[in-house]
Structure 1
Amino acid sequence: MYRIVFLLLSSVLFLSCNQKKNDAIKLPYYNEPTFTPIFKKENVDLKKQIPHTIGDFSFLNQDSILINQKNIEGKIHIANFIFTSCGSICPTMTRNLKIVNDSLIDSKNLVFLSYSVTPWIDSPTKLKKYKQDNEIKNPNWHFLTGTKGAIYQLARQSYFAEEDIGFSKDSTEFLHTEHFILVDKTKRIRGIYNGTLTLEMQQLIDDIKTLQIEK
């Protein structure tokens, strides 16, 4: 009888310790387009270990307001790449990102950046209609347009939007990716998700919550 009780108590303690260990695991960082996860070591300079950050940018949103890196300073943001005339994956991606938006609607320090990959077509007026048609009212969700070269360079070299194959492409090759990229308050990449899969949205929501309490 005592042996059974001891085994049960041991199991409970083991599971509890294991759970605490899992809870202590933070999200990895991604420093290169291969998306090899890097877990920050204790007492190591973040700038030295994880030097890659999202580069400076400046684009117009759907209200013709200039949005740049200052708008994401000290904030978590999710980036994706769409175009308003897309009839394949973009509508699904927007619906799925709206799930994340609606679940975290009270998060004031969370920004959504949807970059147009056909900026020569997607004017602020078109992007505003797209936002309205999708019933998106969050003022922190910006649909962005600008020059093709600037958007494509930011997508491929800052966000690694097409993973390892994307980094070497130039701006003449069309950018089309289903990825959502999660970026933390220091502008470092912390997660990549398939925006066409509704099941991955819960993981994205959970990871955002993890970053929100991260020091």
Structure 2
Amino acid sequence: MACWAPKTAGMWQTVFFGSKLLAIAVCMAGCQRDAGQQLPYYNTPDFTPVFVESETDLAEKIPHTIDDFSFKDQNGQTVSQKDIEGKIHVADFFFTSCGIICPRMTKHMKRVEKAFPNDPNLVLLSYSVTPWIDSVARLKKYCLTNGIQAKNWHLLTGPKSEIYQLARQSYFAEEELGFSKDSTDFLHTEHFLLVDQHKRIRGIYNGTLELEMEQLIADIKTLQQESK
């Protein structure tokens, strides 16, 4: 069986069915990449992994990058693509009134932040999917409630249509399921997306699972080594 980590989020959606839990969990553990193995690139919303061997291959095979954007964070500061240029970043999509999944995702994003304290070359972006509710002031309150203090973690709000388009067309946040949807369809996904220093997607993870966060942390370290 071919195992293409870190694209494991979709695979994990079947793990909670009775007696199959252990078998699938063991399988997934066996699919973890070896330390130092190159991360694949993801160029399409079906997350087919692509491996490249040269800069020429990279330019030809991986045209997809995260589009330009500009939103306000919890401090009222403008955050745009300029803030992620030359940096690794992790993106997720949440809303402050979410009662179950989002708090777990926030907790797990804090694990990522704590693994790289005050790292100036890592940016965490949490986009609100209810920006008409999640004002700057509300995002600030959410940060205070959840103990979010890192200067490189931005909770973002802005025009709904722009956030939804960025999520679906740039980050492939809902994979193929949401790629063709527009802002009239509510966006809600547990996925975390890992993006490299050149704004190319390198991993997708289930943000509700601790094991996936450990893989995300390991993959960030791999990307850090790539740039040296």
TM-score, normalised with respect to structure 1: 0.88
Aligned to 1:5: none
Aligned to 1:208: 220
1:190 aligns with 2:219: no
1:130 maps to which of 138, 142, 161: 142
Cα 1:106/1:140, change in 2 over 3 Å: closer
1:143 aligns with 2:155: yes
Give the drift of 1:24.
5.6
Unaligned runs of 5+ in 1: 1-21
Give the drift of 1:49.
1.2
Q: What residue identity is the alignment partner of 2:131?
A: P
**2:43–2:64: 8 Å Cα contact kept in structure 1?**
yes
Give the drift of 1:23.
5.1
Secondary structure of the equivalent of 1:186?
Answer: coil
1:29 maps to which of 35, 38, 41: 41
Aligned to 2:103: 91
Give the drift of 1:107.
2.0
Give the drift of 1:48.
1.7
Cα offsets for 1:114-158 (capped at 9, x unmatched): 000000000000001111111111110000000000000000000
Aligned to 2:8: none
% identical aligned pairs: 64
Aligned to 1:158: 170
1:69 aligns with 2:63: no
Q: What residue identity is the alignment partner of 2:153?
A: W
Cα distance between partner residues in 1 of 2:181 and 2:203 = 22
Greater CA radius of gyration, 1 or 2?
A: 1
Q: How many residues align?
A: 195
**2:72–2:78: 8 Å Cα contact kept in structure 1?**
yes
Cα 1:106/1:165, change in 2 over 3 Å: same
User: What is the aligned-residue RMSD (CA, Å)?
Assistant: 1.4
- 4+ runs of 1 displaced by more than 6 Å? none
Aligned to 1:3: none
Cα distance between partner residues in 1 of 2:54 and 2:134 = 45
**2:85–2:197: 8 Å Cα contact kept in structure 1?**
yes
Give the drift of 1:106.
3.9
Cα distance between partner residues in 2 of 1:131 and 1:47 = 39
Give the drift of 1:108.
1.6
**2:118–2:152: 8 Å Cα contact kept in structure 1?**
no
Aligned to 2:5: none
**2:118–2:150: 8 Å Cα contact kept in structure 1?**
no
Secondary structure of the equivalent of 2:125?
Answer: strand
Unaligned runs of 5+ in 2: 1-33
